[in-house]
Amino acid sequence: MQAANFQPLEAYPGAGKSWKCECTVCGNTVSPRLSTVQMGIGCVFCAGLAKISIEEARDIFARANLEPIGEFKNSRSPWKSICLNCNNEVSPSVYYVKNNGSGCKYCSNKASGLARRIPEKDAIALLATAGHKALEPYPGSNVPWRTIHEPCGRECTPRLAGIRDGEGGCGYCVGKIRDEDSAIEIMKSAGFEPLEPFRSSKSYWRCVHLPCGNEIRTKFNTVQQGKGGCTFCSPTAKIAEEDAVKFFLSNGLKPLVPYESSSSPWLSIHLACGNKVSPIWGSIQQGGGGCIYCAGNAPILEAEAKELFFSKEHFPIGEYVNASTPWLSIHQPCGKKVSPTVATLRAGSSGCSYCGGALIDAEDAIELMLTNGYEPLVAYPGADSKWKSTHLACGNEISPRLTNVKRGEAGCMYCSGLVPVSESEALELFVSKGFLPQEPFRGTHYPWTSIHKICGKTISPRFKAVRSGLSGCKYCSGNKVDEEDAVALFLSKGLKPLEPFTYTHNPWKSLHIQCGRETSPRYADVAHNNGGCKFCATKGFDLNGPADIYLITSDKFGAHKIGIAGATTRRLQVHKRHGWEVWKTLRFVKGEDAYSIEQELISWMREELYLPPYLSPEVMPQGGWTETVEADEIELHEIWRKVMLLAKAKRDTD
């Protein structure tokens, strides 16, 4: 470390762990790993890779003529600012501005636009190829340019971009623009005599329609497109009353009141049936008959409604309004008062909510409760409200809901054992199951520290779990292990632990006695004969054979991923089938080297760049989500540059 200009400030923690030191070159406190220093990686401050403070960030933005107006988060997050050159609001990151020297997209676009701008001499030459002669200086490729079109001699305003794309540029020659003489000629050919000068194709033009003799205002482009233009001759024009009366009589309708408009109801007599109706002229014109009685859509009279109610065993006792208004009646089968509508009965409904099970009155509710062994103590509160009652089987007071009683879901908490449990009852159960409690009882849902008499271990089961038979001793069931037993198992498998035991599913650094290499299997795997020495393993990733380290990316997920794969495996093909694209790969003679570089790279992304895993197991069912990062946070070439640095350091040390 001292040879690399680092003075340690604390005891050596291990090659793969951060070691607090002072850089003897710049004097800053840093925490590199011995393994990274051995690869030739030095001080982040001297290399310009250290975290940027807000003062440094403001200085970087000031040099780029940017004035921050938002909150600074970190060097890679967008920072809302005002560009002092163009006064536009932008949000570049400090990292981007530091590396590019600027951060305003508007200024960059303007600069690139000026760089791409066609010289005026070339623009005039291009304009001439389409027969145009400029009348003013070149304004830009997408700005209208006032010119004379020499073939027709008219003044027009084409865009150079259109000329460049093959357009002629003259609206007159392609028929989009008309002069007054040609416009008048077209109007006369369509039967219109203009009464005022031509202004433009989209302006109203006062004319006389020669076929009908009426004065109208129409647009030239409407007439040019063959859409008529005369409101008097149009099918949607206002109808004279005389014509409207003739039309109704021709359809068997005799009007009784003056005509208003084609969209207003017109009271008439349907001559075929003699009923009064109010059809709309427009609906008759579109083929409608105009009589709701003949069509079967007439209002239902009270006599017809009574006949329907009697057929459904309903006897009306209220006043009838119409088919869609509830009508108070008595349902003969149950004798209850209900209010069905004619419409619901015609649709096939019985019309009685009591017979249908949707309603229940107080007397029936009490009878139902008594039938199920509950005696109500208060008036019926409603089917979905708690109803204070006595459970006749045990005599205790409870509050079931009638809806639950009807479905057979109500029960007595005393009979089902859901009432609060006393400490003496809990103690009796625990002792009967072989547990000796070591603290006061707090409740059925709380862990209760106890000693298991069979193995002597201290555990904390819950009363409810023990009573239901779902909980026992974690040590006896193999779900929990103490360090002494764990060490004994590892030694029996030829593994010598090098650090204290933490948890059954955590990697445990050990020495494989047979091959002498350091490995980190999990206790749970070793206990089930699924783990041991990764170097001696006969399945999974081969650390002794050739392997690739790869970098892949996905636009769909917005993520990058680093990983390793055996030279003869199909790992990359699996990722490709899930939409990933391969960016780079690097072959290693030994898989151990690829694995080592992958682990160093992941540590660099997680602990130095603070980039967490971006995707989840649900998004990557094929595995590998722990090696992903968000694409917006780091560039692909940045990751690969780090891979090459680690690979070079690995070759140098070997």
pLDDT digits over 365-418, tens only? 888 888 888 899 999 888 888 989 998 877 888 888 888 888 777 667 766 656
E strand segments, 518-633: 518-519, 547-554, 559-566, 581-588, 628-630
DSSP H helices in 349-416: 362-371, 402-407
SS3 59: helix
Asked if residue 526 lies in contact with residue 493, where contact means CB atoms within 8 angstroms, the answer is yes
Are 640 and 551 in contact by the 8 Å Cβ rule? The answer is yes
**20 vs 9, 14, 32, 37, 595, CA distance in Å?**
6, 12, 7, 13, 26
CB 82 within 8 Å of CB 69: yes
Q: What angle do CA 516, 518, 524 make, to 5 degrees?
A: 115
Q: Which two tokens stand for residue 322?
A: 């119409």
3-class SS of residue 522? strand
Closest CA to 602 of 559, 642, 555, 554: 642
* 600 pLDDT above the threshold of 50: yes
Range scoring the smallest mean pLDDT among 180-184, 356-360, 445-449, 515-519: 356-360
**Residues 260-304: tens digit of each pLDDT:** 877 788 899 988 878 888 888 777 776 777 887 776 566 778 888
Per-residue pLDDT band at 196 (split at 50, 70, 90): very high
Q: Is the pLDDT of residue 441 over 70?
A: yes
Residue 538 is predicted with a pLDDT of 46
What does 553-568 look like in DSSP terms, one character per residue? EETTTTEEEEEEEETT
CB neighbour class for 326 (10 Å; exposed up to 12, middle 13-18, buried from 19): middle
Neighbours of 106 (CB within 10 A): 14
pLDDT in tens, 255-269: 999 988 777 888 999
Q: Which residue pairs, CB below 8 angstroms and at least 24 apart, start in 242-245?
A: 244/281
Helix (H, G, I), strand (E, B) or coil at 459: strand
Sheet architecture: strand order including 214-219: 192-194, 204-209, 214-219
- CA 478 → CA 31, 216, 475, 482, distances in Å? 40, 97, 5, 10
pLDDT higher than threshold 60 for residue 235: no
Q: Which pLDDT tens digit goes with each residue over 147-178?
A: 998 888 888 888 888 888 888 888 777 766 66
Q: What does the alpha-carbon distance between residue 124 and residue 307 come to, in Å, rounded to a whole number? A: 91
Q: How far apart are CA 630 and CA 614, in angstroms?
A: 5
- Do residues 444 and 423 make contact, with C-beta atoms less than 8 angstroms apart? no
Residue whose token pair is 């409608």: 288
Q: Are 245 and 259 in contact (CB under 8 A)?
A: yes
Cα–Cα distance between 97 and 75 in angstroms, integer?
Answer: 10
